[in-house]
Amino acid sequence: MMQSLELHSKEKVYWNILALDHETHNLLESLKKPNLRIWLEKDISSINLFDLKLKRTYVEYCWSLASILLDFQIKNSLYQSQLVYVDADIFFYGDINKSLEVLKEGNIAVHEHRFSSKPEVNAKKVGRFNVVIIAGNYSIEFNTCIEEWKLKVIDECVLDTNSGKCGDQHYLNDWPDKFSGLRIMKSNGDGAGVWNLKNTKLHLESNKIFLDQDELIFFHFHGLKIYFLNKVLTIFSPSPGYGIKREYFPIYKKYLQSLVKIRNNFDFIQFNRKKLRIPMLLKHYLQRELGIFINL
């Protein structure tokens, strides 16, 4: 994620990353990036996060941290003009600043799930907006928005889609009515994911990926499972409940190639080395029909 964002961004990027364990903290430190600051849980909150961790599932706890981290950066003046929260499971194919152009006329930027199937039903279950990128300009409105969001998340952050609650996400449903400076990214290339690809057509142009007429800027790989079979072969499965048409495979190919290269650069990390016994006929089918083996 970091490499892809920096590769495409025309602006200098400064990182404030929350590491949830010391292994991740030490790995990030080993990168020795001058534009990177690494924080631990104890650093970013005036409340006892350990209490939240005890009361919530691990997923719910992780979802609780986005608003807390953003509020911490605001309160400690860790940004000057623009602040962007970015989930770790996304990959950039274009310049994030193109997505953030909506902030030229607003203070807060979000993007919708844009579900291809049953949009109203799915939005009611998990929220209209996707907390994968939340961005804002330095302003009272943005600061107020994030502080209010944080307080609601601290009070409750549960996964109960039958009640329309999906962690920290459903709280964003009220933002268009509450904050006049909210702007919504409208491009198919902003926040693409398996849940909104169905009605788009992918094509390649000058080594860039387009969904319909929109350049792909960032893709959310939520729920992607990856197995490293060896240093050059990878097998993956998409988010549960979704298949992948072969025409969309260029999106996955770039991401998996990047992950394999990173994995090989950090051999001391114990990645998932689970051995998969796959019948030969199934191997041929997967490779021929889905193209899910990557040979670098």
What's the CATH number for 2-189?
A: 3.90.550
Residue 99 token pair: 């997505």
Q: How far apart are CA 82 and CA 94, in angstroms?
A: 19
pLDDT tens figures, 137-165 = 999 999 999 999 999 999 999 999 999 99
pTM: 0.87
Q: Residue 166, SS3?
A: strand
267 falls in which pLDDT band (50, 70, 90)? low
Q: Are 11 and 97 in contact (CB under 8 A)?
A: yes
Tell which residue, 230, 209, 208, 224, has the closest CA to residue 296: 230
CA 126 to chain centre: 15
Between the alpha carbon of residue 40 and those of residues 18, 100, 130, 230, the distances in Å are 6, 28, 25, 32
Domain locations along the chain = 2-189, 194-290
Residue bearing the bigger pLDDT, 287 or 94: 94
Q: What is the pLDDT of residues 183-218, one digit of tens each?
A: 999 999 999 999 999 889 999 999 999 999 999 999
For residue range 55-97, list pLDDT tens digits in order: 999 999 999 999 999 999 999 988 878 999 999 999 999 999 9
Mean pLDDT of 242-265: 82
Give the whole-number percent of the chain exceeding pLDDT 70: 84
Q: What mean pLDDT comes out for the span 109-121?
A: 95
